[in-house]
A and B are shown apart, each in its own frame.
Chain A
Amino acid sequence: MPHRYLQLDVFAARAGTGNPLGVVFDAGPMDTATMQALAAWLNLSETIFFLPPDPGADYRIRIFTPGSELPFAGHPSVGAAWTAVVHGLAIPRDGQLIQQCEAGLLPVEISGDHANPRVAVRSPRAKHLQDHAPLAGLDAIAVPGQAAALWNNGPSWWMVEAASAKALRGLKPDFSAIAAWTNATATTGVAMFALEPEADHDVVVRAFCPGDAVNVPEDPVTGSANALVGALLHAQGWLPGVDGRYIASQGRELGRDGRVHVRVDDDGQVWIGGQVQQVIAGTLDW
């Protein structure tokens, strides 16, 4: 039976600049093996499947990469909430929706026009686990004397602040050294960031995960890593922007140009969001 299908570009001001996401509607009858096989065939960084929600949730999704299922991920959640509102799967109350995913129930904020809403999802709470001197050749561009900080909000990322945005954008990372470090520490990857005050963004981020995703050693736009950058900057009292809101630029070094909208609320919770472009709409037969 054909399913409605969308392919979105998330964190994108225009099609092709963000992170693609496959969206399969009415996946209640699909089994786990089918979802995994479909996500592998589509070969997108993530594909989501809409299922009937349990009481207390407005919609429910399962999230698959080509290789495995994820309990939660930022860019699929932003795309899911956008789809739920634009395609009428759920109606926000007071600008809020509750998403059900394998990690549990998560609040989502909706604002603006329902034909093209702005969406922000609350990231799982960030925890600062430990520090380490930066390795893998990254100490050359890191802020001198500053440790790499291991943070977790589901995935674990080593956070390394670069001394300048220019150095970070020009970095040619040693992927094998990064893979060796992250594999040895059982972490997802290394997220580097630097303040870059420009007209349309405040921070530049790059996320290297060659040990976790061999075929995608640098992720073009990364929800979890951006949420951790927000948490870290908040913890250090260096949050840029106004009212806890700033915009991060990621992916330019890979030919993309993603924009992640980050907000740290009064409770220190990090919300991530951005614009969504609907690129492909149709049906899927499997």
Chain B
Amino acid sequence: MPRRYVQLDVFASRPGAGNPLAVVLDAEGLDDAAMQAIAKWTRLPETTFVFPAVSDDATHRIRIFSPRREVPFAGHPSVGTAHALLDAGLIAPREGFVVQDGIAGKLPLKVNGEGAERTIAVRTPRARVQEIATPDDPRLRAALAGLDLGALPPVLMDGGRRWWLAELASETALRSATPNWDAIIALANATESMGLFVYARSDDPVYHFAVRAFVGAPAQFEDAASGAANATLAAWLAERDALPDQPGGFYRVSQGREVGHDAIIELSIDAEGDVWSGGRAVAVVTGMLDWPE
């Protein structure tokens, strides 16, 4: 039986610049083995499968698979799936929210705007300051050497995963920075953190900050679009009263250009102090998927 299928680019400033995601819009009848096989076959970082909601307080139910295993929760697949469902007219926001049900429980997604301007955000785990350090801290010195640092001190944030955040003096300094990978790996291992997340204020008309995420452990790579790490930055900026002067604590971040991507991530802080992280998505492939049951 053919099923509705969409392949989207999530957090993309233009097609091809974001995180790809496959969505099977009507997944009823597919068993776990078939979902895993499809997620392997699409060769994308994640494939989601949509089922009808089983309770009135959710708009839809999803399962998320990487090519290797089922993932209980992930931000960009949740955002992208909600975009695909709204595009197809299969769900509608209730008072500005849709509610996804899944293995990790029910999750509200905040919907702003319509059509090509629509953005969708997930609430991120509450992040807190773990430790404020100085640039000459022996654990940090090598990782920060050669970077043109900004005014705020380096800080270890904990938002489920731990990240060292460091402000750089300018967007130019950020974009031209060369990570010292050995030092970043050592820092990640010594402090049980993901690694180093650098940020700089920007004068760009579209985004307010440019960021780069250097993951030192468990693997070593520069991440193209980091929803959770950006949320810890928002919490840190709020703590220091350093958020851009925008209504609702809303601002945009540019990430990933240095690794061939060009993501735009939107952050906002609500009245309770919770950070929401999200963005747009653009459908690239729209059609039907025919997979034997």
Interface residues of A (CB under 8 A from B): 5, 7, 9, 14-16, 20, 37-38, 40-44, 255, 278-286
Contact = CB atoms under 8 A, between A and B. Distances in A.
B284 A285 contact: yes
A15 B20 contact: no
Given A16-B38, A255-B40, A5 B16 contact: no
B292 A283 contact: no
B291 A41 contact: no
29 contacts: A5-B285, A7-B285, A9-B41, A14-B292, A15-B290, A15-B292, A16-B37, A16-B40, A16-B41, A16-B291, A16-B292, A20-B43, A41-B15, A41-B284, A42-B20, A43-B43, A255-B40, A278-B290, A280-B287, A280-B289, A280-B290, A281-B287, A281-B288, A282-B5, A282-B288, A283-B285, A284-B284, A285-B282, A285-B283
B20 A41 contact: yes
Interface in B268-293: 282-292
B15 A44 contact: no
Candidate in A15, A40, A41, A280 with the most chain B CB atoms within 10 angstroms: A280
Majority secondary structure of chain A interface residues (helix, strand, loop or mixed): mixed
B9 interface: yes
Contacts of B283: 285
Contact of B286 (A14, A279, A283): A283
Contacts of B43: 20, 43-44
Contacts of A284: 284-285
Interface residues of B, number: 23
Candidate in B43, B282, B283 with the most chain A CB atoms within 10 angstroms: B43
B44 interface: yes
B284 A20 contact: no
B16 A20 contact: no
Nearest to A2: B286
Nearest to A255: B40
B217 to A, nearest CB: 21
B16 A41 contact: yes
Nearest to B40: A255
B287 A283 contact: yes
B15 A285 contact: yes
A281 B283 CA distance: 14
A239 to B, nearest CB: 32
Contacts of A255: 40
Contacts of A9: 41
A40 B15 contact: no
Nearest to A37: B16
A40 B16 contact: yes
A280 B23 CA distance: 12
A42 to B, nearest CB: 8
